[in-house]
């Protein structure tokens, strides 16, 4: 099966342009001040909005190519800052939780949409996977994730087995490691 589209939502803090009635990509702030407080406002997207927008995106893609396979994942890169007024940890957890839940529902709502657990691989890892800034994922770990993705979606079975043995997303193994419960059982 050939995967043709990969979607990676990253955060729920968006800026809305009241003049165009559309969300914009860049943050309309320069030197710590809003460019135009009457025109732009912060919009913290909720689950229903994220789910609806992701579903609409899938449906638009499928309108043009009904046979398109879609892979969806949540970006593991945390928020750098928040405009919500919340603690950054709270804002980031909310953002990723909403997106993860919306992605799960997309997978359940549409055929040939699959979720790849890159977010979970990074955030639940027991190893140091971050660069020194504690925001970006170390290149060697990114390579492991990409290898796993390629093994699962783009290569033959033999490569998948090798990648599975090299890199695993097993929560049981992580729990054993974190709590010092000894070596995990070997896989068959």
Question: Would you list the domain boundaries of the chain?
Answer: 1-116, 126-188
Answer whether residue 175 shows pLDDT above 70: no
Within 10 A of 161 (CB to CB), how many other CB atoms are there?
A: 12
Q: What is the pLDDT of residue 153?
A: 78
For 66-95, what is each residue's pLDDT tens digit? 999 999 999 998 888 898 999 999 999 999
At residue 157, the pLDDT reads 44
Chain mean position to CA 67: 23
pLDDT tens for each residue of 116-153: 999 998 888 867 888 888 788 888 888 888 878 877 77
Q: Which residue has the higher pLDDT, 184 or 50?
A: 50
Residue with tokens 């054993």: 176
* CA–centroid distance for 15 within its chain: 20
Phi-psi sector, 168: left (phi>0), alpha (psi -120 to 50), beta: beta
């Amino acid at each position: 099966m050939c995967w043709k589209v990969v979607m990676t939502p990253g955060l729920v803090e968006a800026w809305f342009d009241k003049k165009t009635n559309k969300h914009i990509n860049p943050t309309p702030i320069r030197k710590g001040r809003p460019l135009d407080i009457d025109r732009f406002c912060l919009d913290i997207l909720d689950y229903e909005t994220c789910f609806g927008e992701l579903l609409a995106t899938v449906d638009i893609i499928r309108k043009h190519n009904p046979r398109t396979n879609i892979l969806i994942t949540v970006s593991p890169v945390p928020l750098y800052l928040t405009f919500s007024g919340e603690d950054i940890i709270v804002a980031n957890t909310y953002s990723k939780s909403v997106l993860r839940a919306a992605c799960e529902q997309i997978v359940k709502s549409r055929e040939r949409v699959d979720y790849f657990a890159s977010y979970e691989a990074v955030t639940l890892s027991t190893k140091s996977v971050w660069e020194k800034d504690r925001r970006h994922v170390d290149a060697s770990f990114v390579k492991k994730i990409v290898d796993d993705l390629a093994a699962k979606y783009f290569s033959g079975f033999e490569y998948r087995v090798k990648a599975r043995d090299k890199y695993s997303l097993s929560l049981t193994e992580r729990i054993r490691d974190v709590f010092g419960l000894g070596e995990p059982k070997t896989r068959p």
